[in-house]
């Protein structure tokens, strides 16, 4: 896939996005990576070099930060992000079974699998008394089951369509 | 006019609180959005204020689909009566959580009319040294898990001179920082999140008191990305606090200048370790720093830095407002004041319980929590997050306090209790503790980075073999190396859940992984 940071205009646009952060905030590398991800949905090829330049650090420094954090992505995200809690409090109320059931549901429904990508486990969503917990985009789901996840995904898809 | 209260806490939203609020508003009712009372099994918990005396009565598990506001009557099956008289709340002593669930979290007027800013006002009338003395006298210790005395930490920072950021010219502006650790990654803990979503001004007030006490001019809140609702709430509260002069130049008309920003984490558990958090705040990989230098002397950007957990800082306003002696009168031994316990996992009545130290785990889980949610017998309780020990059903009489738990080889951590019923396979849990360490180790020190990988392998060997003595000895040796040789609590405490499972539930390690998993799943399906 072609990176959206290629032409001089595209590079300047990213610099325009990042420069105010660098001027305002000390230690801005992670903030710049997060800003790029918010803007593009992921951190595209070429972003690391631009961030290194505006922050006046080496590309290796930026790459080091980029590669450390699991939130920062190299590739565009799925249409809807689905994250099931894999930590102990949710394990205690069937989190492992839900994860297996969700994998089965995705295997049985290619459209669902395409829209949500791979389930990326997350360690704790802070909803530990109402588990299993899941996050569909930014919406927290309590007492989660496959049906609840599917309807949250439908709602997120409808919301995205309305926004268009 | 009748006023209704519907929580906007993420836990309440996760079970449909927004739809309930929308349904009430559609019927022309006045709705105030609050934090959650912490009775999470009853969410969405809707309250109505009595128009005469303001007493609030409630209904539990309200669903938008099944009511018109006229259905919420005192004869409805889900009617709870006066919310504050419910046993779960009546037994609590709320200091940190005094306003959570009651007020609109981002309404400054509501904050003031419920005792907000009294602590900061009182602190600003005292000298910085007297504020530190009060915090020391309260006996407050760090609620993030390490339990370090807060007053001593503040004293250390107060004694340091402000310095320019490391690498800046010598005549650059000089700073000290107040950093709040809101990277609440421990499973089974949600008290930081609920405080930030339910009473964010309390956290900001506590930070301002700390700033006055130690002479800091800047504050940062390191908030995990997994808490989008808390992030939005803190931003909104900071904007409103600036408008009111609670942050910024000359806070509350004093000479104290202090402002706060929020920085969001990026999915790394170990960034809850204070020095890894500093690295992350500085924009680098979240690896642990060797100590010394202590962050209190050379912390964020090389400046003297107070690093406190959300609950520690949020304790301070009420300590100043109600008096350090009253706070210190609660608790036992060197565990003074209140702790916000979080009942989580397989529990019938999960939620927030703020009480004095010394309550037993048994009382928390069986009297307040009413046992497992599944109704099956309780098998184990993990106290203090993924690095905490598993307790057996027989050992739950232990008082919940720093010293008493340490004597049991366990730790309080951030005050979370995760309950498991008898369908849990403790060998699987021990293996998970190592897997989690593999996933989240920052990689800086070898015992943690390599030890966790070998730990998973050795547990697999142990479970696969019939004569397991060798593998078991190897696992114990490995745990010893990790405990003694790791740079921080990540590698140093991962052996706690592993060894407590192995020591207390040896029978679970005598079956192979696949057999045990199948057996457990079979048991659950029945």
B376 vs chain A: nearest CA distance in angstroms? 12
| B112 burial level (CB within 10 Å; 0-12, 13-18, 19+) | middle
Residue of B nearest to A31 (CA): B283
Containing A36, the helix (H) or strand (E) segment is helix A29-40
With CB atoms and an 8 Å threshold, state whether A65 touches B284.
yes
Report the alpha-carbon distance of residue A89 to residue B151 in Å, rounded. Answer: 33
Is B432's CB within 8 Å of A29's CB? no
Residue where a domain stops, chosen among B64, B90, B116: B90
Q: Which of B185, B261, B267 lies nearest to residue A70, judging by beta carbons?
A: B267
Which 8-state DSSP code applies to residue B366? Answer: I
Query: What sign results for the dihedral spanned by CA atoms B69, B75, B79, B85?
Result: positive
Residues B227 and B314 in one domain: yes
Cross-chain Cβ contact B188/A88 below 8 Å: yes
**Looking at residues B357-374, what average pLDDT do you find?**
98
User: Based on the structure, what is the number of domains in chain B?
Assistant: 4
Both B126 and B77 in one domain: the answer is no
**Cα-Cα-Cα-Cα dihedral sign, residues B361, B366, B370, B372:** positive
- Tell me what pLDDT residue B524 has: 45
Are residues B228 and B251 located together in one domain of the fold?
A: yes
Q: Assess if residue B99 is contained within a domain.
A: no
* Residue B270 to residue B51: CA distance in whole angstroms: 49
Is the pLDDT reported for residue B514 higher than 70?
no
Q: Are residues B317 and B358 in the same domain?
A: no
CB atoms within 10 A of CB B325: 11
Low-confidence ranges of chain A (pLDDT < 70): 1
Mean pLDDT within B118-135? 98
Contact between residue B307 and residue B323 where contact means Cβ atoms under 8 Å apart: no
The confidence score (pLDDT) of residue A160 equals 87
* B97 within some domain: no
In this predicted structure, what is the pLDDT of residue B512?
A: 52
* DSSP secondary structure letters along B383-446: ESSTTSPEEEGGGTTSBSSHHHHHHTT---TTSEEEEEETT--HHHHHHHHHHHHHHH--SSSH
Do the chains contact at B282 and A125, CB–CB below 8 Å? no
CB pairs under 8 A between A and B: 158
**From the list B187, B280, B342, which residue is nearest A88 (CB)?**
B187
Residue B492: the pLDDT is 97
pLDDT digits (tens, 9 = 90+) for B244-291: 999 999 999 999 999 999 999 999 999 999 999 999 999 999 999 999
Inside any domain, residue B415: yes
**Per-residue pLDDT at B193:** 98
Within-domain flag for B460: yes
Q: Are both B480 and B432 inside the same structural domain?
A: yes
Residue range B402-426: mean pLDDT, rounded: 96
Q: Report CB contact under 8 Å: B184, A126.
A: yes
Any domain includes B356: yes
With a cut of 70, say whether residue B516 has pLDDT above it. Answer: no
In the block, residue with structure tokens 């394990």: A91
Q: What is the CATH number of the domain that holds B456?
A: 1.20.1440.230
CB atoms B189 and A72 under 8 Å: no
In the listed set B395, B421, B447, which residue is the last one of a domain according to the structure? B421
Chain A neighbors of B429, CB-CB under 8 A: 88, 91
Of A27, A68, A89, nearest to B285 by CB-CB distance is A68
Q: Residue B518 — very low, low, confident or very high, per pLDDT cuts 50/70/90?
A: very low
Residue B273 tokens, joined: 């370790």
Residue A119: the pLDDT is 79
Mean pLDDT of the region B475-484: 98
- Are B362 and B482 members of one domain? no
pLDDT tens, A48-76?
Answer: 999 999 999 999 999 999 999 999 999 99
Query: pLDDT digit string (tens) for B299-329?
Result: 999 999 999 999 999 999 999 999 999 999 9
pLDDT tens digits, residue range B5-57? 999 999 999 999 999 999 999 989 999 999 999 999 999 999 999 888 889 99
Map residue B163 onto helix, strand or coil: strand
Name which of B185, B188, B271, B433 to mutate to probe chain A: the one with the most chain A Cβ atoms within 10 A of its Cβ: B188
Whether residues B196 and B290 share a domain: the answer is yes
pLDDT of residue B511: 67
Question: What fold is seen in the domain A82-163?
Answer: Glutaredoxin (3.40.30)
Q: Which of B14, B226, B419 lies nearest to residue A142, judging by beta carbons? A: B14
Domain ranges of chain A: 8-68, 82-163
- Is pLDDT of B94 > 70? yes
Concatenating the DSSP letter of every residue in B231-282 gives HHHHHHHHHHHHHTTSSBTTGGGSS--BEEEEEE--S-GGGGSHHHHHHHHT
pLDDT at B65: 76
Tell me: do B201 and B311 sit in the same domain.
Answer: yes
B265's CB contacts (< 8 A; 6+ apart) are A71, B183, B222, B223, B224, B225, B271, B280
Q: Tell me what ipTM this predicted complex has.
A: 0.96
Same domain, B158 and B219: yes
How far apart (Å, rounded) are the C-alpha atoms in residues B164 and B46? 50
Longest dimension (CA), chain B: 74
Give the structural domain span for B186. Answer: 108-328
Is A120 or B497 the better-scoring residue by pLDDT? B497
Domain end among B297, B328, B359 = B328
Q: Would you state the pLDDT for residue B482?
A: 98
**Residue B300 and residue B220 in contact, taking contact as beta carbons nearer than 8 Å:** yes
- Which residues does residue B178 pair with via DSSP β-bridges, in sequence order? B219, B306
Instruction: Give me chain B's average pLDDT, please.
Output: 94
**Which of B268, B373, B440 minimises the CB distance to A93?**
B373
Give the CATH number for residue B58.
Answer: 3.40.30.10
Q: Are residues B238 and B306 in the same domain?
A: yes
Q: Which tens digits make up the pLDDT trace of B166-223?
A: 999 999 999 999 999 999 999 999 999 999 999 999 999 999 999 999 999 999 999 9
Shared domain for B480 and B403, answered yes or no, is no
Residue of B163 and A161 predicted with greater confidence: B163
Verify whether the Cβ–Cβ distance B226 to A61 is below 8 Å: no
Residues B168, B77 share a domain: no
Q: What is the dihedral of CA B143, A28, A79, A159, to 10 degrees?
A: 70
> B61-71: per-residue pLDDT in tens?
999 876 776 77
């Amino acid at each position: 896939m072609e990176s959206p940071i290629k032409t001089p205009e595209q590079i300047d646009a990213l610099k325009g996005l990042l420069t105010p952060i660098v001027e305002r905030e000390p230690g801005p590398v992670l903030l710049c990576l997060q800003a790029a991800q918010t803007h593009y949905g992921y951190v595209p090829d070429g972003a690391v070099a631009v961030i290194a330049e505006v922050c006046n650090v080496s590309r290796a420094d930026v790459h080091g930060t980029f590669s450390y954090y699991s939130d920062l992505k190299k590739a565009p995200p799925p249409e809807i992000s689905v994250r099931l809690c894999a930590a102990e409090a949710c394990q205690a109320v069937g989190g492992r079974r839900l994860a297996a059931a969700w994998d089965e549901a995705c295997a049985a429904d290619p459209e669902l699998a395409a829209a949500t990508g791979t389930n990326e486990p997350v360690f704790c969503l802070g909803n530990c008394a109402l588990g299993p917990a899941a996050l569909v985009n930014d919406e927290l789901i309590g007492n989660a089951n496959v049906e609840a996840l599917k309807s949250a995904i439908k709602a997120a898809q409808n919301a995205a369509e309305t926004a268009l | 006019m009748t006023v209704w209260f519907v929580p906007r806490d993420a836990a309440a939203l996760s079970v449909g609180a927004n739809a309930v609020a929308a349904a009430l508003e559609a019927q022309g009712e006045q709705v105030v959005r609050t934090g959650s009372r912490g009775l999470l099994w009853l969410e969405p918990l809707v309250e109505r204020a009595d128009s005469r005396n303001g007493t609030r009565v409630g209904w539990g598990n309200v669903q938008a689909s099944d009511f018109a506001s006229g259905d919420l009557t005192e004869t409805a099956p889900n009617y709870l009566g006066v919310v504050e008289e419910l046993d779960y709340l009546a037994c609590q002593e709320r200091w940190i959580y005094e306003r959570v669930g009651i007020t609109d979290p981002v309404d400054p007027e509501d904050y003031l009319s419920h005792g907000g800013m009294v602590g900061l006002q009182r602190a600003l009338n005292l000298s910085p040294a007297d504020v530190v003395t009060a915090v020391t006298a309260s006996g407050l210790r760090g609620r993030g898990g390490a339990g370090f005395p807060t007053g001593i930490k503040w004293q250390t920072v107060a004694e340091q001179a402000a310095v320019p950021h490391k690498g800046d010219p010598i005549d650059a502006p000089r700073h000290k920082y107040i950093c709040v650790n809101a990277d609440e990654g421990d499973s089974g803990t949600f008290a930081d999140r609920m405080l930030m979503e339910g009473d964010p001004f309390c956290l900001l007030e506590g930070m301002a008191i700390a700033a006055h006490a130690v002479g800091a001019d800047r504050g940062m809140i390191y908030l995990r990305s997994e808490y989008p609702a808390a992030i939005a709430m803190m931003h909104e509260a900071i904007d409103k606090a600036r408008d009111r002069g609670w942050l910024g130049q000359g806070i509350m008309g004093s000479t104290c200048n202090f402002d706060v920003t929020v920085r969001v984490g990026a999915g790394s558990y170990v960034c809850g370790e204070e020095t890894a958090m500093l690295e992350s705040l500085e924009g680098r990989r979240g690896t642990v720093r060797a100590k010394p230098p202590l962050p209190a002397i050379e912390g964020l950007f090389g400046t003297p830095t107070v690093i406190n957990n959300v609950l520690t800082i949020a304790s301070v306003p009420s300590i100043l407002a109600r008096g350090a002696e009253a706070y210190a009168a609660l608790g036992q031994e060197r565990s003074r004041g209140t702790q916000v316990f979080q009942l989580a996992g397989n529990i019938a009545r999960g939620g927030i319980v703020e009480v004095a130290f010394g309550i037993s785990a048994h009382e928390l889980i069986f009297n307040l929590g009413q046992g497992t949610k599944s109704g099956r017998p309780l098998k184990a309780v993990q106290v203090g997050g993924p690095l905490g020990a598993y307790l057996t059903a027989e050992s739950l009489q232990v008082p919940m306090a720093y010293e008493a738990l340490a004597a049991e080889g366990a730790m309080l951590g951030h005050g979370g209790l995760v309950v498991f019923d008898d369908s849990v396979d403790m060998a699987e849990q021990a293996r998970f503790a190592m897997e989690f360490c593999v996933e989240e180790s920052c990689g800086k020190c070898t015992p943690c980075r390599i030890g966790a990988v070998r730990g998973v392998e050795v547990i697999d060997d142990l479970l696969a073999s019939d004569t397991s003595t060798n593998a078991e000895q190897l696992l114990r040796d490995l745990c010893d190396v990790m405990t003694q040789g790791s740079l921080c609590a990540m590698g140093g405490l991962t052996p706690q859940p592993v060894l407590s499972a192995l020591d207390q539930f040896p029978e679970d390690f005598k079956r192979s992984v696949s057999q045990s998993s199948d057996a457990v799943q079979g048991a659950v399906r029945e």
